[in-house]
Amino acid sequence: MTSSPASTWTGMVPVDDTALAVSDTRGPGFPVVYLNGSYADHRPWRPVIAELGTDWRHITFDERARGRSKRSADYSFEACVRDVDAVLEATGVDRPLLVGWSYGAALAVHWADRNPDRVLGVVSVDGAVPYGLTGEEGRERIRRLFRRMRLLLPLLRPLGMAARMTADQHADVNIEANEINASIEPVLERLTCPVRYVLATGASLGGGQEEMEQMRASLDPVLARNPNVRVSAKVASNHSHILRKDFRAIAEAVRETAAAHDQRAH
C-alpha cells in the first residue's frame, strides 16, 4: 500500500485470481464505499466525493478488468459480491454505507440484503430498479449493441467507460445484470436499512425516453410497500451523465441516508 500526505492509501487487493485497485481516504466519518457502473472505473465518483468533503471516509475501487484492476476468468455478479467483501476486509470496514451507480446499485442492494446487520444504508444512483431486458429477444438486443460497439470499446477504456473485456464479455455482464434487475423486487422489499434513490429522467444509450420512464416507474410498487426505500431526488440528467451533472443531489442523498441511520440508532 502507498500513503499520501492526506493519509489516503492506495493499493492492490488480491481476490480469487485477480487483484483490485483500491483507494481509502481514511477520513473520520462514515465509511462510504462507492460501487461503479458495469464497465466504469472509480473516476466518475470524484465530483460526489469532493462535494461531501473530508469529513467522510471515501473508499473506491476498480472492478475486475476495469481501471487499474487486473483481468480475471470470472466477471459474474457473484464475483463482484466477493470483491466487495475483499475490499471491506482489506480496509477494515465492518459497516459501510454503500453508494452504487447503475450496476453498482444492484450490487449494493444485494450486498445489503445478504448483510442486514452490517450495512449502514444504501444510495442507489439510477439503478437497482425491477426492470430488465430478459428472454432471448432481450439477450440478442444486448449482443447486437455490443457487437456494433466492438471497435469503439478500446477507445472508451482510457476514459473509464469500458472494461478490458471482449465485446462478448461486455454483453454477458449486461445480460446477467438485466436478469438480476428484473428479479430484484423481492430483494428491495426485504431491505431494513435506509435506502435512498437518485433517479435520472432523461434517455440513455440503448434506451429511449419512454423505455427509461417505464424502467424507473417499476420502482413505484416497492416504494409503496417498503417505507425504508425512498426517492431522494429526481434529476434532469440521463443515466450516463448523472454522476457528473447531479453530484450535489447524490451527495445530499448520502447525507440523508446517514442521517436516517443516526435517527434509528438514537
Q: What is the mean pLDDT of the segment spanning 177-205? A: 93
Residue 1: predicted pLDDT? 43
According to DSSP, residue 43 is labeled: G
Tens of pLDDT, residues 76-135: 999 999 999 999 999 999 999 999 999 999 999 999 999 999 999 999 999 999 999 999
C-alpha cell at 132: 430488465
Residue 4: predicted pLDDT? 44
Residue 244 has pLDDT above 90, yes or no: yes
Q: How confident is the model at residue 216 (pLDDT cuts 50, 70, 90)?
A: confident
DSSP, collapsed to helix, strand or coil, labels residue 197 as: strand
Report the chain's C-alpha Rg in angstroms.
17
Dihedral angle at the C-alpha atoms of 88, 91, 97, 99, nearest 10 degrees? -80
Regarding the domain with residue range 9-263, which homologous superfamily does it belong to in the CATH classification? Alpha/Beta hydrolase fold, catalytic domain (3.40.50.1820)
Burial of 100 from C-beta contacts in 10 A (0-12 / 13-18 / 19+): buried
According to DSSP, residue 66 is labeled: S
Q: For the whole model, what pTM was predicted?
A: 0.94
- Cα 82 to Cα 88: distance, rounded to the nearest angstrom: 10
- Are 167 and 150 within 8 A, CB to CB? yes
Question: Domain spans of the chain?
Answer: 9-263
The one-letter code for the residue type at 156 is: L
Pairing mode, strands 229-235 and 195-200: parallel
If we measure between CA atoms, which residue out of 64, 105, 53 comes closest to residue 239? 105
Tens of pLDDT, residues 52-62: 999 999 999 99
